[in-house]
Amino acid sequence: MEKDLIRKDVLQKRDELSVYKIEVKSREIFEELVTRPEYIEASNILTYASVRNEVKTDEIILDALALGKRVFCPKVTDKKNGIMKFVRIYEPENLVPGDYGLMEPEIRDDSEIFDPDFYADESNVRRIDGENAGKTMVIVPGVAFDEKGNRIGYKGGFYDRFLSKVSYADTVALCYKIQIVDEIIPSEYDIPVKSIIHEK
């Protein structure tokens, strides 16, 4: 099945989920995520703010902040070329309505922007706050996934461009079982995620 057809089919199924089911499934996915060593050891959590019927990330953001992790959320900076930057937030209120109906941080003169090159350097990582510092987890959105981690996104290419710069990061997709398909044929530019968490 072509990507556009898979995207349309899965989005329709996801749109039909009730508020109750989204809450229950999202809670189960959250509880699985926060027990994973990759999450526990990560000092940097790069996550989108969920919208519509996506797996909810609100609780993840609050948990990561409460644990003292550095939390970064994406801000679209160049729509035409599919470029976004991850900006550090200190509370959910730092997110405001932005492009595509997404909640995004604002970029100000004193904003801390996640620098992929800086965190790729182990000496920089250790300098920040000890041996575990600098481990990075990227929570990746998407419409559909296969068991190999291939994904179909929302057609912007933003995440594939970003993920190509952070091969050292743990990348995880959070989705419902209805978003898992048999096979996605990746293009040469597609970057698969390293793990997927869905409800049992």
Which residue would you say has higher pLDDT here, 19 or 128? 19
Query: How much is the pLDDT for 133?
Result: 54
Is 6 annotated as a binding-site member? Answer: yes
- pTM, rounded to two decimals: 0.91
- Among 99, 78, 102, which residue's Cα sits nearest to residue 161? 78
Is 15 annotated as a binding-site member? Answer: no
Q: Kindly report, residue by residue over 130-186, the tens digit of the pLDDT.
A: 544 568 999 999 999 999 999 999 888 899 999 999 999 999 999 999 999 999 988
Q: What secondary structure does DSSP assign to 126-194, as a single string?
A: HHHHSTTTT-EEEEE--SEE-TTS-EE-SSS-HHHHHHTT-TTSEEEEE--GGGB-S-----TT----S
**Residue 127 scores a pLDDT above 70:** no
Is 134 annotated as a binding-site member? Answer: no
Number of domains in the chain: 1
Is 180 annotated as a binding-site member? Answer: no
- Among 82, 64, 119, which residue's Cα sits nearest to residue 73? 64
**Sign of the C-alpha dihedral, residues 48, 146, 29, 69?**
negative
Is 158 annotated as a binding-site member? Answer: yes
Is 79 annotated as a binding-site member? Answer: no
Query: How much is the pLDDT for 132?
Result: 47
| Mean pLDDT value across residues 114-137 | 74
The tokens describing 24, both together, are: 């229950």
**CA distance readout (Å), 85 to 6, 48, 79, 145, 180:** 28, 11, 12, 24, 28
Is 27 annotated as a binding-site member? Answer: no
Task: Report the DSSP pairing between strands 144-145 and 151-152.
Answer: antiparallel
Is 7 annotated as a binding-site member? Answer: yes
Instruction: Report phi then psi at 176, rounded to 5.
Output: -90, 160
Query: How much is the pLDDT for 126?
Result: 62
Least reliable range by pLDDT among 72-81, 119-128, 185-194: 119-128
The CATH code of the domain that includes 83 is 3.40.50.10420
Q: Kindly report, residue by residue over 27-63, the tens digit of the pLDDT.
A: 999 999 999 999 999 999 999 999 989 999 999 999 9
By CB atoms closer than 10 A (0-12, 13-18, 19+), residue 36 is middle
Q: Kindly report, residue by residue over 64-103, the tens digit of the pLDDT.
A: 999 999 999 999 999 888 889 999 999 999 999 987 778 9
Is 154 annotated as a binding-site member? Answer: yes
Give the residue numbers spanning the domain of 28: 3-197
Query: How much is the pLDDT for 79?
Result: 87
